[in-house]
Amino acid sequence: MAGSTATAVLDRNGLDALVKELTAQGRTVVGPTVRDGAVVLAELASADRLPWGWGTRVEAGRYRLVPREDGAVFAHTAGPQSWKAFLHPQREQLWSADRGSDGSLSIVEERADPASYAFLGVRPCDLRAIAVQDRVLTGGRFQDSGYAARRTGAFLIAAECTEPGATCFCVSMGSGPAADTGFDLALTEVVDDAGHRFFARAGSTAGAEVLSGLPHRPPDPGTEAAAHDAVEAARDRMGRAMPPVSLRDLMGESLEASRWDDVAARCLTCGNCTMVCPTCFCTTTEDVTDLTGDHAERWQRWDSCFDLDFSHLHGGPVRATPRSRYRQWLTHKLSTWYEQFGSSGCVGCGRCITWCPVGIDITEEAAALHDELAARLRQEEENDEGGGDDRKEPER
């Protein structure tokens, strides 16, 4: 690639220049920044706004910012938002309709002009989550043109993970901590005796062009090896793991499990898990009229399967109990998503664990369901040995 760079080493000035360059290209640069005691995602005026020197300590239902001596900028874990807040915004107008004085009706599509986004600091799990939402919102029968417009041409700068959190389990889901594809640039942060720097790789022509325009050093073996080792080490430091079985089958075999009652007693049905999940895509529409009755608008807004109205049909909600709603969430994420979209709906980012007020843990629930299924199968086997009957299929 002439005039372009595949790999390089950047320092803080390089990151500054990166934000400046993307802004100069007319892009809205979005990245992590500190607000209200958390690392949130927001429009960045400059790289100074990044969370330099901030880490996070998380647990199920708990999140705290902690200062870091090393000044690292990408050493925090997932905050309460994901990139879907920008690509698939929480509320968006679809169209408006007006009735003229002669009674004629005119309907106008009302999509806001899409911003040209650059996302700085996209974690590997979140890259995967964006790919999942791409398939959901642009890959099949139900196209979301607003999403497509914002997604097309968005410039993604990945930040590989070297400091996984206690609720992370991307390794279980095959989505991290290294970034393989789906980015324009990937950064790996290295802080050691040789300084604070970023090993940068281009993942697209656009990425290589941007990289070549930044103040940078050629890649040195020391930095490359340190970056590689840090990501490899992160692989072994995941805070959590899914049971190492086919989660898809596990859910299919667990529809009548008693564990659902246990979790339903703890679940607030507050919907936080689906709101923070980077792949949850569900929306509802609101049709608003004004007082004159001659103007109407249709808006789309985030919804959740924890909402009673979500399954409201004639006569009431189909999923009236918290048990059925929690089960919908877990089985959709881990199992039926495959049938619909050909992959898991979970990328192991840990947000639903951290940001669940009561700390309900998707990995713990999956493990409990696994244990219950294993116990049931053992019991059935013993019964078979006793009775000598044909082996029963587990109930569906």
Partner 1 sequence: MERPTLAVFKLASCDGCQLTLLDCEDELLALAGRIEIAHFLEASSAVTSGPYDLALVEGSVTTPADAERVREIRAQSRFLVTIGACATAGGIQALRNFADVEEFTRTVYARPDYIDTLATSTPVAAHVAVDFELRGCPIDRGQLLEVITAFLAGRKPDVPNHSVCFACKRRGTVCVTVAHGTPCLGPVTHAGCGAICPAYGRGCYGCFGPSGSANLPALIPLLHRDGLDDRATERFLRTFNATAFAETASAGTAATQTAATRTGEET
User: Which residues of the shown chain bind partner 1 in the complex (CB under 8 A)?
Assistant: 35-38, 40, 61-65, 79-81, 85, 90-91, 265-272, 275-276, 286-293, 301-302, 304, 306-309, 322, 325, 354-358
Among 44-52, 85-93, 214-222, 268-276, the segment contacting ligand SF4 (CB under 6 A): 268-276
Least distance from C-beta 74 to partner 1, angstroms? Answer: 19
Nearest distance in Å: CB 288, ligand SF4: 23
Q: Between residue 326 and residue 365, which ones bind ligand SF4 under the rule CB under 6 A?
A: 328-329, 332-333, 346-352, 356-358, 360, 362
Binding partner selected for residue 351 from ligand SF4, partner 1, none, CB under the kind-specific 5 to 8 Å limit:
ligand SF4
Q: Which is nearer to ligand SF4, 27 or 88 (CB)?
A: 88
SS3 letters for the chain?
CCCCCCEEEECHHHHHHHHHHHHHCCCEEEEEEEECCEEEEEECCCHHHCCCCEEEEEECCEEEEEECCCCCCCCCCCCCCCCHHHHCCCEEEEEEEEECCCCCEEEEECCCCCCCEEEEEECHHHHHHHHHHHHHHHCCCCCCHHHHHHHCCCEEEEECCCCCCCCCCHHHHCCCCCCCCCCCEEEEEEEECCEEEEEEEECCHHHHHHHHCCCCECCCHHHHHHHHHHHHHHHCCCCCCCCCCCHHHHHHHCCCCCHHHHHHHHCCCCCHHHHHCCCCCCEEEEEEECCCCCEEEEEEEECCCCCHHHHEECCEECCCCHHHHHHHHHHHHHHHHHHHHCCCCCCCCCHHHHCCCCCCCHHHHHHHHHHHHHHHHHHHHHHHHHHCCCCCCCCC
Based on CB atoms, which residue is closest to ligand SF4, 56 or 272? 272
Kindly tell me which of 160 and 361 has the beta carbon lying closer to partner 1: 361
Measured from the CB of residue 157, what is the shortest distance to ligand SF4 in angstroms?
20
Q: Is 8 in the site for ligand SF4 (CB under 6 A)?
A: no
Measured from the CB atom, the residue of 16 and 262 that comes closer to partner 1 is 262
Question: Does the footprint of ligand SF4 cover residue 140 (CB under 6 A)?
Answer: no
Q: Which does 22 bind (CB under 5 to 8 A by kind): ligand SF4, partner 1, none?
A: none
